[in-house]
């Protein structure tokens, strides 16, 4: 998305601990619609054409960024020091350096492309992504008479007159690499916070004869950085709306987008209908014509064509509902395959099971997957095709229910059931082999 003739690197500032989150987890590592906060930033940078990606991390957090170049800021000495920590990783790099905030997940590759385009157009040494707002404690953009940027003044260091400036710093920049490293070497901590401000590089670059420019982002909300859990909730709402709109424009019906939460890696085919109060998480996949909700939660589930889920249903990881299957009211399914056109209509738990086609699981059925047999541990239940269970059955794994079998109500099944047999008759299981075939002959 950027000029391919000039290499583009990115330094992602992820060394902050986010004390205002009141959490043991740094702010940029909190989950947000299927990714960590920082992952939204990293993915946007990649989509913008970044060739080199360096994450500046706090000591002890390096392991959170497997597969990436990581620079460690040993002491929290300010934003300028954080970027300087990445210099050795980018030694010899000649091009442009995006400096990104790991806790600003709403900016997209398109925003970064606009920033870089402005930088090119202005022949600038540094360009700042800015926005217009009143009363926020952000750095003020001080413009020179020719419209270029003269300096950025932090809110704590600003005069009353400077605090009236409405153009604010988002803390997102693009630099020419050479001027950036030179300006960082000139930083000092003579300011209200006693830190090395990255913002001071702008005045330093201008003093050295470089040009500083700004691109004013028209979407103020996209510049939101996360500092508190309240900010996290606002960002989640924005991303929810973006994701839902993308699905609706692709042919999915979302009856009430404000109560529907769909994580970023979920895939929905055309003509899926999602009812209110539905949460689809992980890598859930939903095929065409499926009906989901209301009040459904599904994580890492596969829902087949024309399947029906809910209301008040929970599909846990490893669930596969094949075409036309139903998981109904107050049903929970985990790590199980439910065959085509099979129905689990209400009040049942199916876990660690394989259920064939055209089977009906009656109300209050449970698969108990810890075996009653000594030393077996966790087992799996297999229920064949065209099986009819009764109300209030429990299947104690490992058991195998043959095709066409019937299960008597109220029975605990602990032994295999042959095909076409009638099994049950509490208090102990009895199998009447061939019962179903004889019943059909009658």
C-alpha distances (whole Å) from 409 to each of 370, 372, 416, 426 are: 22, 21, 17, 9
The answer to whether residue 196 is catalytic is no
Q: What is the DSSP string of 373-436?
A: STTT-B--EEE-TT-B--TT-EEESSEEEPTT-EE-TT-EE-S-B-TT-EEE-TTS-EEETTHH
Q: What is the DSSP letter of 226?
A: P
Per-residue tokens: 185: 């070497």
C-alpha distances (whole Å) from 381 to each of 117, 337, 344, 410 are: 60, 11, 15, 18
CB proximity list for 65: less than 8 A, separation 6 or greater: 14, 55, 57
Measuring CA to CA, which residue among 79, 51, 52 is closest to residue 173?
79
Do 174 and 2 contact (CB within 8 A), yes or no? no
Do 370 and 397 contact (CB within 8 A), yes or no? yes
Catalytic residue among 30, 119, 247, 346: 346
Measuring CA to CA, which residue among 142, 132, 154 is closest to residue 80?
154
CA distance 370 to 289: 36
Do 305 and 311 contact (CB within 8 A), yes or no? no
Number of H helices, E strands in the chain: 7, 37
Q: How many CB atoms sit inside 10 A of residue 261's CB?
A: 21
The angle that helices 200-207 and 177-185 make with each other, rounded to 10 degrees, is 110
Beta pairing partners, 355? 338, 383
C-alpha distances (whole Å) from 38 to each of 34, 132, 241 are: 12, 24, 19
Do 125 and 212 contact (CB within 8 A), yes or no? yes
Beta strands, E only, 248-370: 253-254, 261-262, 267-268, 273-274, 278-281, 285-286, 291-292, 296-299, 302-303, 308-309, 313-315, 320-321, 326-329, 331-334, 337-338, 343-346, 349-351, 353-355, 366-368
Do 334 and 316 contact (CB within 8 A), yes or no? yes
Catalytic residues: 346
């Amino acid at each position: 998305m950027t000029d391919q003739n000039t290499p583009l690197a990115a330094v992602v500032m992820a060394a902050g601990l986010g004390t205002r989150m009141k959490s043991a987890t740094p702010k940029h590592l909190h989950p947000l619609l299927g990714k960590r906060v920082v992952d939204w930033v990293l993915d946007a940078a990649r989509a913008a054409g970044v060739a080199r990606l360096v994450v500046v991390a706090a000591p002890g957090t390096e392991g959170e960024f497997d597969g990436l170049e990581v620079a460690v800021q040993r002491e929290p000495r300010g934003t300028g020091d954080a970027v300087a920590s990445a210099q050795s990783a980018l030694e010899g790099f000649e091009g442009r350096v995006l400096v990104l905030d790991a806790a600003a997940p709403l900016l997209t590759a398109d925003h970064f492309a606009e920033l870089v385009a402005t930088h090119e157009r202005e022949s600038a040494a540094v360009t700042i992504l800015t926005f217009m707002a009143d009363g926020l404690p952000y750095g003020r953009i001080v413009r020179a008479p020719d419209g270029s940027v003269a300096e950025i003044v932090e809110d704590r260091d600003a005069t009353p007159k400077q605090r009236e400036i409405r153009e604010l710093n988002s803390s997102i920049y693009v630099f020419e690499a050479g001027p950036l490293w030179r300006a960082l070497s000139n930083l000092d901590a003579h300011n209200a916070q006693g830190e090395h401000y990255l913002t001071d590089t702008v005045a330093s670059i201008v003093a050295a004869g470089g040009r500083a420019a700004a691109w004013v982002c028209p979407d103020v909300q996209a510049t939101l950085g996360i500092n508190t859990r309240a900010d996290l909730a606002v960002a989640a709402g924005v991303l929810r709306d973006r994701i839902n709109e993308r699905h609706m424009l692709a042919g999915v019906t979302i009856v009430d987008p404000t109560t529907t939460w769909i994580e970023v890696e979920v895939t929905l085919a055309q003509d899926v209908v999602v009812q209110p109060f539905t949460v689809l998480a992980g890598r859930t996949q939903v095929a065409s014509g499926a009906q989901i909700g209301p009040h459904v939660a599904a994580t890492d589930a596969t829902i087949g064509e024309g399947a029906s889920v809910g209301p008040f249903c929970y599909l846990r990881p490893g669930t596969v509902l094949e075409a036309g299957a139903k998981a109904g009211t107050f049903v929970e399914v985990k790590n199980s395959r439910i065959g085509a056109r099979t129905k689990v209509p209400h009040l049942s738990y199916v876990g660690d099971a394989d259920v064939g086609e055209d089977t009906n699981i009656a109300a209050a059925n449970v698969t108990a997957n810890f075996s009653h047999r000594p030393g077996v541990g966790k087992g799996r239940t297999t229920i064949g095709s065209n099986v009819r269970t009764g109300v209030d059955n429990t299947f104690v794994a490992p058991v195998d229910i043959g095709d066409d079998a019937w299960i008597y109500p109220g029975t605990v099944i602990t032994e295999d059931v042959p095909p076409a047999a009638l099994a049950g008759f509490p208090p102990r299981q009895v199998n009447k082999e061939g019962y179903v075939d004889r019943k059909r002959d009658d």
